[in-house]
Structure 1
């Protein structure tokens, strides 16, 4: 797990970095699987779980 990062004497929490990276990864996955996500039972819930999986994978692996 990352520790705090100092940018111009401003400490940035690692969760902010994970969330920024996960947003980029989620946008890529969402663009690739848009048709599949739209055909699910509850599209918004499916998109939420995909974003949750991406954030969890980044936290566990880093």
Structure 2
């Protein structure tokens, strides 16, 4: 018997069988559900990752 999963055996999640992200009947969903829309970081990182890295690194260096 093989304990490892092959790619063909993986079952994709059925989102229709799960409750929504915000369901007031579930205490943890109220605490963990997003309150604001998600922000896409893809464009921000593509423009100038080196400039962003330099800014955050120098800010951390100044704070210490």
**TM category, shorter:** 0.3 to 0.5
More helix per residue: 1 or 2? 1
What TM-score do you get using the length of structure 2 for normalisation?
0.31
What TM-score do you get using the length of structure 1 for normalisation?
0.32
More strand per residue: 1 or 2? 1
Between the two structures, name the one with larger relative contact order (CA 8 Å, sep ≥ 6): 1
Q: Which has the larger radius of gyration?
A: 2
